[in-house]
Amino acid sequence: MASEPRATEAGRPLLLRGGRVIDPAAGHDAIADVLLADGRVSDVGTGFGLPDDAQVIDAAGLIVCPGLIDLHVHLREPGQEHKETIASGARAAAAGGFTAVCAMPNTDPPTDDPAAVGFVRAQGLRAGSARVYPTGAVSIGQKGERLTEIGEMIDAGAVAITDDGRPVPTAGLMRLALEYARTFGIPVASHCEDMTLSRGGSMNEGATSTRLGLIGIPNAAEDVCIARDLLLAELTGGRLHIQHVTTRGGVEMIRAARARGIAVTAEATPHHFTLTDDAVEPYRTNAKVNPPLRAAADRAAVIEGVRDGTLDVIATDHAPHHYDEKEQAFEDAPFGLIGLETALGLAITELVDRNIIDLPTLITRMSTQPARAFNLPGGALDRGAPADVTVFDPAWSWTVDTAQLRSKSRNTPFAGRELRGRAVYTIVDGRIIHDASAERP
């Protein structure tokens, strides 16, 4: 598996002193110290002895929590390194407060065999920043025809299988994927889209698409596939993870399925809980994303899903694209927007500051649950847990400035937006991989 420790900086213990330590898995929320040593959480509490050589960070006024984990990023390597590399993506993740990310397999060539999975894993280790966990494709070449060698990809480090970027086109193949994944104890992550309904569309189907004269993608394109995959999860007993849920119908079906005992986890993205389809006007390609930004009622349902835990994971779907590609006519521009460096600020600004969720729930959605959904190390701060920690300032007001982003791409609809909440330290394996303390106002 991809979780082996890396060398810590001179092996020096690190003490995070006096922060508000929130560890939802342990039900912990109190002012405390956290000591990290030898790549592990060594102590949480107050009044414990401090090693002589410890580096001390004053975390007063800051939140100290298990490292944020993003289950859904596109890092573009191999094949489209002009948009992002594994190293630049891992650095963008660290800057956003993420200690680990899961790389989607729609690279060029697709990550569909053990060698490709091993490459992503090795490049992640080489980057030495946020941890990078590969996912493997469901189908060879992501063509939706034949199943990949799932067991071999897991041995090479894959933590889930998914054809993300595309749906698994047939129920038969999805059934097989769920059955095989079940035998290995990993989830199948599903990009739910019936392409016979979405084909040709470039935004949500509704009043705005009519006004702009663009072909729309109806909610049903997503809902038909969510219904199918929930039925197949029930049939197989496999673990289903539904990616980027955007529709009211989808949220309702997932809620009902969970109540029936179906093993399903599901994502909300910051852009879907923040924006509606009118953000696309006037033909703003940086708001072109798949699944598309939806109507106000859908956005409200996604927010309610995050609040009540139906959507138990917040994930970015970080999808970098080059400026020139996004400069094309709306219909021709690729789908996708970057999200790693704005996710925490958007979640705090849109959800916590509006009293929709509290900080422990935010951390549950961005760390605890992502770790559980994909069986990843981390997501907790109990003694012996990996020393992957995010320290953030929930009151830090800042403006999204695309010139400052670590990502290689700039395709965000949030440029110029005022946000509250930002990572101050991102710590992986006891080592500070991102330090923004000097920039803090």
Q: Are strands 40-45 and 28-37 parallel, antiparallel or unpaired?
A: antiparallel
Q: Which stretch binds ligand DOR (CB under 6 A): 181-189, 200-208, 328-336, 370-378?
A: 328-336
Nearer to ligand DOR by C-beta: 78 or 334? 334
Which of helix, strand or coil describes residue 70?
Answer: strand
Which of residues 274, 290, 349, 407 is near ligand DOR by CB under 6 A?
Answer: 290
Cβ neighbours of residue 101 closer than 8 Å, sequence gap 6 or more: 69, 70, 71, 73, 75, 89, 90, 93, 130, 131, 132, 133, 318, 340
Nearer to ligand DOR by C-beta: 290 or 349? 290
Nearest residue (beta carbon) to ligand DOR: 336
Which of residues 17, 121, 175, 191 is near ligand DOR by CB under 6 A?
Answer: 191
Residues 107-146, interacting with ligand DOR (CB under 6 A): none
Residues 293-322, interacting with ligand DOR (CB under 6 A): 319
Q: Which of 390, 403, 409, 412 is nearest to 94 (CA)?
A: 390
Q: How far apart are CA 405 and CA 8, in angstroms?
A: 26
Whether 278 is a known active-site residue: answer no
Residue 3 has a CB neighbour count (10 Å cut-off) of: 15
Q: How far apart are CA 414 and CA 431, in angstroms?
A: 30
Nearer to ligand DOR by C-beta: 74 or 121? 74
Cβ neighbours of residue 166 closer than 8 Å, sequence gap 6 or more: 106, 142, 144, 191, 193, 195
Which of helix, strand or coil describes residue 38?
Answer: coil
Nearer to ligand DOR by C-beta: 184 or 335? 335
Which residue is catalytic, options 23, 113, 229, 317? 317
* Helix, strand, coil shares, percent, the chain, to 5: 35, 25, 40
Which of residues 110, 165, 187, 305 is near ligand DOR by CB under 6 A?
Answer: 165
Which of residues 37, 62, 72, 74 is near ligand DOR by CB under 6 A?
Answer: 74
The beta strands (E) that lie in 333-441 are given as 389-399, 418-428, 431-435
Residue at 101: amino acid letter: V
Residue 106 makes contact with ligand DOR by CB under 6 A: yes
Q: How far is the CB of 110 from ligand DOR (least distance, A)?
A: 11
Residue 289 makes contact with ligand DOR by CB under 6 A: yes
Nearer to ligand DOR by C-beta: 217 or 380? 217
Residue 203 makes contact with ligand DOR by CB under 6 A: no
Cα–chain center distance at 97 = 12
Which of helix, strand or coil describes residue 102?
Answer: strand
Q: How far apart are CA 150 and CA 325, in angstroms?
A: 33
Nearer to ligand DOR by C-beta: 283 or 335? 335
Q: How far is the CB of 165 from ligand DOR (least distance, A)?
A: 4
Q: Which stretch binds ligand DOR (CB under 6 A): 333-341, 342-350, 383-391, 408-416?
A: 333-341
Which of residues 270, 336, 377, 413 is near ligand DOR by CB under 6 A?
Answer: 336
Q: How far is the CB of 119 from ligand DOR (least distance, A)?
A: 18
Q: Which stretch binds ligand DOR (CB under 6 A): 135-143, 228-236, 299-307, 331-339?
A: 331-339
Nearer to ligand DOR by C-beta: 5 or 334? 334
Residue 66 has a CB neighbour count (10 Å cut-off) of: 29
Cβ neighbours of residue 140 closer than 8 Å, sequence gap 6 or more: 112, 146, 147, 148
Q: Is residue 381 within 8 Å of residue 44, measured between CB atoms?
A: yes
Q: How far is the CB of 317 from ligand DOR (least distance, A)?
A: 6
Binding footprint of ligand DOR, residue count (CB under 6 A): 10
Q: How far is the CB of 318 from ligand DOR (least distance, A)?
A: 9
As given in the structure block, the two tokens for residue 149 are 């060698």
Residues 389-418, interacting with ligand DOR (CB under 6 A): none
Q: How far is the CB of 25 from ligand DOR (least distance, A)?
A: 30
Q: How far is the CB of 77 from ligand DOR (least distance, A)?
A: 13
Binding track, positions 337-376, relative to ligand DOR; x by CB under 6 A: ----------------------------------------
As given in the structure block, the two tokens for residue 319 are 């999808």
DSSP assignment letter at 375: T
Q: How far apart are CA 167 and CA 332, in angstroms?
A: 20
Q: How far apart are CA 281 and CA 241, in angstroms?
A: 31
Q: How far is the CB of 381 from ligand DOR (least distance, A)?
A: 32
Identify whether 109 is preceded by a cis peptide bond (ω within 30 of 0).
Answer: yes
List interacting residues with ligand DOR (CB under 6 A): 74, 106, 165, 191, 289-290, 319, 334-336
Q: What residues are labeled active site?
A: 317
